[in-house]
Chain A
Amino acid sequence: MRYIAQKLGLFVLTLWAAITLNFFLPRLMPGSPADAAIAKLSQNGPVTEATRAAIEAQLGVPTGSMWDQYLSYLHQVVTLDFGVSYTFYPQTVSSMVSTALPYTIGLVGVVTILAFVIGTLIGVAAAWKRGTWLDSLPTLTGSFLSTFPYFWTALLLLFFLGYVLHWFPTSGAYAATTTPGLTPAFVGDVVQHAVLPALTILITSLGGWIIGMRNTMINTLGDDYVTFAEANGLRGRTVAIRYAARNAILPNLTGFGLALGGVVGGSILVEQVFAYPGIGYLLFNAVIGQDYPLMQALFLMITVSVLIANFLVDILYGVLDPRTRR
């Protein structure tokens, strides 16, 4: 219980810090959205003071002291009211984010857990057969694949499996001809559209799990209890899975939480390549359209999601490792 309370406290503190960072980030940067808009206008001629005031009012440029701005920002965050999007006027930022979020969470969540499980199993096998081709083949392929830029893997899969072989649809999350809803036809369509982005993330993130698990597993294989288990004449598979892997997985689990940030970042690039209507694609469009309210809300969403995932991993760690419960 104490462990959970401690982690919960840290989580709330980190959450507050991330939210505050998101508040200061645009304020630390030179210029403002209004300046950018005025700079664009001034190319056509001088901008009057009245025009400037009108633009600032339209874009909702914050007024009042920093403290007042901060309080109203916190209020916005708590009520999930991030204002109106610049580029997709008059849609609210919150509605756009909530439309996009399920796609990204579904895609990234499922694929990351899949990659973690597959990668960890391969890593166990590689460490157990250390020095043979069963070790060097997955380690080398894994480290090669993990250096692939996400967007490049995405482009290659898109080109060969999408454009050349026509196996999978090339963009979007569902075909324009199907109506969204919980029908088998729609779900099947969504799954089919998700295959290429999912495959990209799987291929690129698998290597990290293989190598991480292999390295911690090699360290545990040197421990006395493993030697003892082997000396007792236990079957190889029993020693590998129930003795060594069981202990080696703990540090890898911490890595899972941290690596998630990298996968989420990579998924932005992947979503952009496949025009997959998730958070990443929306962020890309917000950046291109200089849609600052949308951008700020999206960054906050991504950060908070990763923080929550990390918190859940911490809790899981506490459940799996009895030493933390002391």
Chain B
Amino acid sequence: MTSTQNVRIQSDRTGDTIAAPSRWRAVARMVSTVWGNTKARIGICILGFFVLVAVLAPFIAPYSAKDNSFERNADASWAHWLGTTAAGEDVLSQLMYGARISLVVGFAAGILSTIVAVLIGLSWGYLRGFASEAVGFVVNLFLVIPGLPLMIVIAAYLQNGGILMIVAVIVVTGWAWGARVLRSQTQSLRGRDFVTSAQFSGDGSTRIVFREILPNMTSLITGSLFGAATSAILAEAGLEFLGLGDSSIVSWGTMLYWAQNSNSLLTGQWLLLFAPGLCIALLALSLTLINFGVDGISNPRLREGKGR
């Protein structure tokens, strides 16, 4: 029996016409699955809060982030809710502006490394024979080489590269995990009937991979996007904490770098250490929480609430 007959019989029985579900409806369903998960809902709220603060920073921050005209090493007060830095800048304002760097670097590096992961993971999964083995070897090499030491070494060679350098370094070192996850899914989809039928109707490999297989992996790709963004945010903060980025910009990582270098531990200004780190942890947590909901899109066992 050919598949066309099969479809007609089914559609006669239900009286529905078989049309591809609208893309927007699919997206809306995904969003509602994610939103239905309590953890993911908390994550979306936290992320939304940080995005809002980052966008509105010039309007809601009490002072400019680089205004160093205040008393130095001041404790928390009504004028400076979180105190001031050793250079006399307002910590709260720095925190608000710092959200911009973390969000931009996190998502830029996350999106770029996910694009690399999709391109490599899908073609690797679809290829067979020696080419597949060769790609696999490279991916495994990048998986086992510890990421942060590699980043540190590259950043040390590219002196004072600033934000763009950090994004590039994170992308170069961070795509392999996503590629491996997407590859195994591609392999399992490769043998499905709809791929075979596309092959028989004469579609080229590129079209099959990106038009037939790719749309079936939306949730997995979303998941690896949030995962990549999380590790990008942590990596960026780590590199800047070591003083390997541009230490003149205001970001959560550089705030901690200056806090450590100005001996805030000795002066007892724990807020200066506590606040930026908590923001990094909360932002990373929000993305991890959203991923709990994203997991539910492809694996109903992990779903919560009505969508179960």
Task: Compute how far the CA of A288 lies from the CA of B152 in the bound complex, rounded to whole angstroms.
Answer: 11
Residues of B within 8 A of A158 (CB): 265
Residues B211-267 near A (CB distance < 8 A): 230, 234, 237-238, 241-244, 256, 260, 265-266
Q: Residues of B within 8 Å of A, CB-based: how many?
A: 49
User: Of B71-79, B92-100, B122-130, B281-289, which stretch is located at the interface?
Assistant: B281-289
Interface string of A272-307 (1 = CB under 8 A from B): 110000000001100110100001101100110011
Residues of B within 8 A of A303 (CB): 144-146, 149
Task: Compute how far the CA of A14 lies from the CA of B136 in the bound complex, rounded to whole angstroms.
Answer: 12
Docked-complex contact A287 and B152, CB < 8 angstroms: yes
Docked-complex contact B256 and A152, CB < 8 angstroms: yes
Docked-complex contact B238 and A269, CB < 8 angstroms: yes
* B137 at interface by CB-CB < 8 Å: yes
Residues B129-160 near A (CB distance < 8 A): 137, 140-141, 143-150, 152-159
Of A13, A159, A215, most B-chain CB atoms within 10 Å: A159
Docked-complex contact B144 and A155, CB < 8 angstroms: no
With A147-B230, A155-B265: A14-B141 Cβ-Cβ less than 8 Å: yes
Task: Compute how far the CA of A137 lies from the CA of B152 in the bound complex, rounded to whole angstroms.
Answer: 35
Residues of A within 8 A of B59 (CB): none
Residues of A within 8 A of B23 (CB): none
Residues of A within 8 A of B265 (CB): 155, 158-159, 163
Docked-complex contact A143 and B157, CB < 8 angstroms: no
Can you report 5 residue pairs joining A to B where beta carbons are below 8 Å apart? Answer: A29-B157, A143-B285, A147-B288, A269-B242, A287-B242
Task: Compute how far the CA of A29 lies from the CA of B285 in the bound complex, rounded to whole angstroms.
Answer: 35
* B273 at interface by CB-CB < 8 Å: yes
Distance (Å) between the CB of A87 and the closest chain B CB?
13
Docked-complex contact B281 and A147, CB < 8 angstroms: yes
* A222 at interface by CB-CB < 8 Å: yes
Docked-complex contact A261 and B157, CB < 8 angstroms: no
Task: Compute how far the CA of A182 lies from the CA of B256 in the bound complex, rounded to whole angstroms.
Answer: 38
Main secondary structure of the interface of B (DSSP, over half): helix
Task: Compute how far the CA of A265 lies from the CA of B148 in the bound complex, rounded to whole angstroms.
Answer: 5
- The chain A residue with its CB closest to the CB of B282 is A147
Docked-complex contact B156 and A306, CB < 8 angstroms: no
* A30 at interface by CB-CB < 8 Å: yes
* A266 at interface by CB-CB < 8 Å: yes
* A18 at interface by CB-CB < 8 Å: yes
Q: A: which residues have CB within 8 A of B?
A: 13-14, 17-18, 21, 25-26, 29-31, 36, 140, 143-144, 146-152, 155-156, 158-160, 163, 215, 218-219, 222, 257-258, 260-262, 264-266, 268-269, 272-273, 283-284, 287-288, 290, 295-296, 298-299, 302-303, 306-307, 310
Docked-complex contact B143 and A159, CB < 8 angstroms: no
Docked-complex contact A17 and B285, CB < 8 angstroms: no
Residues of B within 8 A of A31 (CB): 157, 159
Distance (Å) between the CB of A295 and the closest chain B CB?
6
Q: Which of B153, B266, B274 contacts A299 (CB 8 A)?
A: B153
Residues of B within 8 A of A149 (CB): 234, 237-238, 241, 277, 280-281, 284
Docked-complex contact B273 and A273, CB < 8 angstroms: no
Docked-complex contact A262 and B146, CB < 8 angstroms: yes
Residues of B within 8 A of A258 (CB): 143-144
Of B274, B277, B292, most A-chain CB atoms within 10 Å: B277
Task: Compute how far the CA of A14 lies from the CA of B149 in the bound complex, rounded to whole angstroms.
Answer: 17
* B301 at interface by CB-CB < 8 Å: yes
* B270 at interface by CB-CB < 8 Å: yes
